[in-house]
Amino acid sequence: MTARVDAAFAKNLPKVELHAHLTGSITPQCLHEIWTQKKSGDPSMTLQDPLEAMSKDKVWDIMTFFPLFSKYIYELCSTPASIVYSINAVLRDFKEDGVVYLELRTTPRSSSSMSKDDYIATILSCIDDFPHRNVMTTYLILSIDRRNIPEEAMEVVDLAIQYQSRGIVGVDLCGDPSKGDISTFKEAFHKAKLYGLKITLHFAEVPASSSLLELKTLLSFRPDRLGHVVHVPDKIKAQIKASKLGLELCVSCNVQARLIEGGVADHHFMSWIKTGCPVILCTDDVGIFDSTLSNEYLLVAQAFNLSRDDLIDLCDQAVEAIFGDRHEKQRLCALVKEARENRMPID
Ligand code: IMP
Ligand code: ZN
């Protein structure tokens, strides 16, 4: 028997974050600072202040959520300087929340002042220069957007291969689940696999992206992990269980974006825990959903009556599913072991 879980305990856990979109992880405050800077250089700029556009009382759904990126945040963060400013803030925020290992994902994009290559090179330089690399190691995953044409998807994979030796560990499929034809990405994911990149896929987020045909096609890409796994038919569930795929569960995102009905206690977290697949709690877009990774641990502990040991077990499962190498696994296993030894007994 150990003491109850509280915010301080959750923060001190050696947490691994495996599903965080870079642009969605920028806080409204950081975006506000970028906005202020931009506005002072161009007072005629019409973009709304992020503190209003992304205020806490905003209700997100699939119709409002995706345009927030394409029509708003990308406009604000379109220069190398704004990318550097925001990624440094994102890295600091995760580190301050007690994250010890981070796999950040992002969709390569270009603007009038940078190419996709510049975008990725800039992010990798910031990761290299992050002053707390000994406390939190960071790797990058490149995302294919569901709206991409096959050539764009292949470009993402080629960029991932080009920068693989600098810390790109995998390729993701993300974007509006009501859009795109995922069968056109077969070749791109095949090439990624061929070059030793790991694969993670947004999977069964909404009913429209959960047909048996779509889910079977996605599994044919031979993913190593899956994100969300909300609307999964039993037949596919059995396949996922047999392959022991790592499952990235984003509880606050699913509740707030109404991908599930009800609250945290209604989340499919427990049903996946029972399958024995590694379950990894993740934030998805902490800048939008305003729930840090330590808060996600706290929320599930409260909703499902989990103990300190249960949460340490969750940290352990996350380590199992990382795309980093065995040295990273060893480092993280030692941190989890230390947390287990130091967990406070009941007094
Ligand atoms: P970026 O890839 O760093 O630009 O992060 C923002 C992008 O992540 C968005 O344009 C979406 O394509 C993707 N994204 C963020 N959250 C979700 C989600 O919950 N489901 C699917 N895609 C997402
Ligand atoms: Zn996501």
Domain map (residue ranges) of the chain: 7-26+58-342
Tell me if 267 CB under 6 Å of ligand 1.
Answer: no
Nearest ligand, measured from the Cα of 90: 1
Prediction pTM value = 0.97
Tell me if 229 CB under 6 Å of ligand 1.
Answer: no
Q: Which of 205, 248, 296, 328 does the annotation list as catalytic?
A: 205
**Tell me, what DSSP letter sits at residue 345?**
B
Q: Which fold has domain 7-26+58-342?
A: TIM Barrel (3.20.20)
Task: Output the DSSP codes for 148-162.
Answer: --HHHHHHHHHHHHH
Tell me if 278 CB under 6 Å of ligand 1.
Answer: no
Q: What are phi and psi of 199, to 5 degrees?
A: -125, 130
Active site residue 155: no
**Two tokens at 57?**
């009382």
Contact between residue 13 and residue 98 where contact means Cβ atoms under 8 Å apart: yes
- Rounded to 10°, the helix 150-162/186-194 angle is 10
| pLDDT at position 347 | 37
| pLDDT at position 343 | 79
| pLDDT at position 3 | 76
Tell me if 175 CB under 6 Å of ligand 1.
Answer: yes
| pLDDT at position 346 | 47
Tell which phi-psi region holds residue 306, choosing left (phi > 0), alpha (psi between -120 and 50) or beta: beta
Taken in order 212, 234, 231, 17, is the CA torsion positive or negative? negative
Residue ID of nearest Cα to ligand 1 atom 6: 23
Nearest ligand, measured from the Cα of 180: 1
User: Cα of 173 to ligand 2 centre, how many Å?
Assistant: 9
Mean pLDDT, 10 residues at a time, over the chain (347 residues)? 86 98 98 97 95 91 91 96 98 98 98 97 98 97 98 98 98 97 98 98 98 98 98 98 98 96 98 97 97 98 97 98 98 97 66
> Using one digit for the tens of pLDDT, what is the confidence trace for 97-142?
999 999 999 999 999 999 999 999 999 999 999 999 999 999 999 9
Query: Residues with Cβ < 8 Å from 174, sequence gap 6 or more?
Result: 21, 105, 107, 143, 144, 145, 146, 202, 227
6 CB neighbour count, 10 Å cutoff: 11
| pLDDT at position 289 | 96
Residue ID of nearest Cα to ligand 1 atom 1: 106
